Amino acid sequence: MKINLLMIGILLCSLPLMAQTTEEPPETTTLVANNSYVFSYSKQELKGEAANFLVKATASSQFVLLGEQHMDHEIPIFAGALFRMLHQHHGFGTLVVEQDPIAIEDALAPDRRGNAERLAAYSAKYPTLFEFDTDEDLSLLADVSSMIPGPDAIWGAEQATSSARALEELISLTANDDSKSLTQKMYALARDSENTPGFEDNWLIQSDTEKQIESLIQVFDPAPKSRADRLLTGLKKSAEIYGYYIRAEGGDWVGLYNNTVREALIKELFLERYHAASQDGSLPKALFKYGNYHLYHGKSPTHAYPIGNLAHEFAIVNGMEAYGIAVYAQGENYQTLDDLPDWMKPLLPAQQPTVPTLIDLRALRPYQRLFRIQVADIEQWKLRDLINGYDAIVLLPGSRPAQRLLGGRGEQ
């Protein structure tokens, strides 16, 4: 009798385990479909079920992080609609962008503020000043600065990208003949090299530039924290970061510094603006728009802890949270789901979407093992980091490459 009671007890204790092991796991394609939301958008508005979803999902967010593919036509338009929605529903008042702080200062100047045509013409004068200088990106800057008054509408948090613009101002900041003469010589070199968008021919990326800037700092001898000091130290730090990139391309094992030192600078520039804006005790709310790798929660695929991770942790310190959206543009003869990496495919719809679609990654996280096992072992970490590093994926069909036509530029 005791043995039978013992056996019954063992069987009863085993029932939950047996039920758990015999339950069929859900199909991941069904999970993705059940947690996908469609929407529509224009420059002025984001609407549909995904818009309603985002309003609720971001209600406790101090920061929303839009990780993008650069130089795309539709993503800045979506970013503008998202910013308007966050402003209207949650009081967001700042856009933080991957742009030289001087570029954003100049974009907010009264004679250019809110005018994409004038911004584009100004960009043509300093072709490397705006790191992302397409009509679409400049229109976003113009729209946000029209909507939000004051200097905190947009913050640029990125390394210096136009030595010509900075050196031209430095010429006006010194009456010393030696420093003026040396600055003018460097300005001529910068103007010669920085005549097209991009950084490949930028004077800041040349191998001897950092030493030249160091010599200029010695001659200039700027007062600490003065405008000249900020311009010169900004140029020096940027040349250092570009230098790691060049050395890594040549085989030197310093590529990680190109990411970690740059991310540290981005954080420093952001925090400087944040602390100044929050002196009255307020909690500024901001939408970030950066390249996808910069806005991960946790370590980025480049093995740096990026500005996105700081935003998440900083929001937690403030009793709030951050919400990350990884955006991928699609378009005929442009790019489709097939062009995205294989390790990402389990998280995507079974068919190419024909309308803008949001996939809720938070809802998929409890099942992430089911998604990971569909990926080659060596790449499973990439899927794991994405599903935990972002809260949603947005797919934007109907896109194409961005253009440069405003301000009389034509296609450059």
Q: According to the model, what pLDDT value does residue 3 have?
A: 45
Which two tokens mark 190?
A: 């910068």
Which two tokens mark 351?
A: 């068919």
Question: In CATH terms, is domain 24-71+78-93+290-412 a member of 3.90.180.10?
Answer: no
Q: According to the model, what pLDDT value does residue 17 have?
A: 47
Do residues 288 and 307 make contact, with C-beta atoms less than 8 angstroms apart?
yes
Is residue 13 scored above 80 in pLDDT? no
Do residues 101 and 292 make contact, with C-beta atoms less than 8 angstroms apart?
no
Average pLDDT score over residue span 344-350: 98
Is residue 9 scored above 90 in pLDDT? no
What confidence category does residue 21 fall into, taking pLDDT thresholds of 50, 70 and 90? low
What confidence category does residue 358 fall into, taking pLDDT thresholds of 50, 70 and 90? very high
Is residue 248 scored above 80 in pLDDT? yes
Q: According to the model, what pLDDT value does residue 201 have?
A: 76
Average pLDDT score over residue span 286-303: 97
**Using one digit for the tens of pLDDT, what is the confidence trace for 114-164?**
999 999 999 999 999 999 999 999 999 999 999 999 999 999 999 999 999
**Using one digit for the tens of pLDDT, what is the confidence trace for 301-312?**
999 999 999 999
Q: According to the model, what pLDDT value does residue 200 have?
A: 76
Do residues 117 and 406 make contact, with C-beta atoms less than 8 angstroms apart?
yes
Is the C-alpha dihedral spanning 25, 27, 28, 31 positive or negative?
Answer: negative
In sequence order, what DSSP letters do the residues of 196-262 get, joined into one string?
SSSSTT-GGGSTTHHHHHHHHHHHH-PPTTSHHHHHHHHHHHHHHHHHHHHHHHTT-S-HHHHHHHH
Do residues 50 and 39 make contact, with C-beta atoms less than 8 angstroms apart?
yes
Q: According to the model, what pLDDT value does residue 199 have?
A: 78
Q: According to the model, what pLDDT value does residue 19 have?
A: 46
Average pLDDT score over the chain? 94
126: left (phi over 0), alpha (psi -120 to 50) or beta: beta
**Using one digit for the tens of pLDDT, what is the confidence trace for 383-401?**
999 999 999 999 999 999 9
Q: According to the model, what pLDDT value does residue 38 have?
A: 98
The secondary element (H helix, E strand) that includes residue 66 is strand 61-68
What confidence category does residue 362 fall into, taking pLDDT thresholds of 50, 70 and 90? very high
CA–centroid distance for 305 within its chain: 13
**Using one digit for the tens of pLDDT, what is the confidence trace for 41-79?**
999 999 999 999 999 999 999 999 999 999 999 999 999
Q: According to the model, what pLDDT value does residue 411 have?
A: 65
CA distance 88 to 187: 44
**Using one digit for the tens of pLDDT, what is the confidence trace for 196-217?**
888 777 899 998 999 999 999 9
Three state DSSP letters for 180-194? HHHHHHHHHHHHHHC
Q: Which of 85, 87, 77, 63 is nearest to 148 (CA)?
A: 87
